[in-house]
Amino acid sequence: MPARALDVTGTLCPVPVLLARRAMRALGPGDLLEVVGDDPAMVVDVPVWAEKDGHRLVELAKEPGGRVRCLVEKGRGGPGL
């Protein structure tokens, strides 16, 4: 199954995580969410959110132009699910 894409470009902390949390609620366990944005804080905020809410950070990449791409797999339980 392809990842659901969420573009949070132009938003700053805490908005990228809030939007990712909302998008994750619509997915089932094991589904993937790709979050792409330009907030440098995403490299810290997304992994912390994923662990706290019981998800698995599959990949985190800094791309040219200051973009950050995170791939998160929805967990089976935990807060915010």
Q: Which amino acid is at 21?
A: R
The residues near 24 (Cβ < 8 Å, ≥ 6 apart) are 33, 53, 55, 72, 74, 80, 81
Q: Would residue 70 show up in a list of annotated catalytic residues for this protein?
A: no
Calculate the alpha carbon distances from 58 to 10, 47, 61, 68, 73 in Å: 23, 10, 10, 14, 7
Q: Which amino acid is at 1?
A: M
Among 5, 12, 13, 26, the active-site one is 13
Q: Which residues are annotated as catalytic?
A: 13
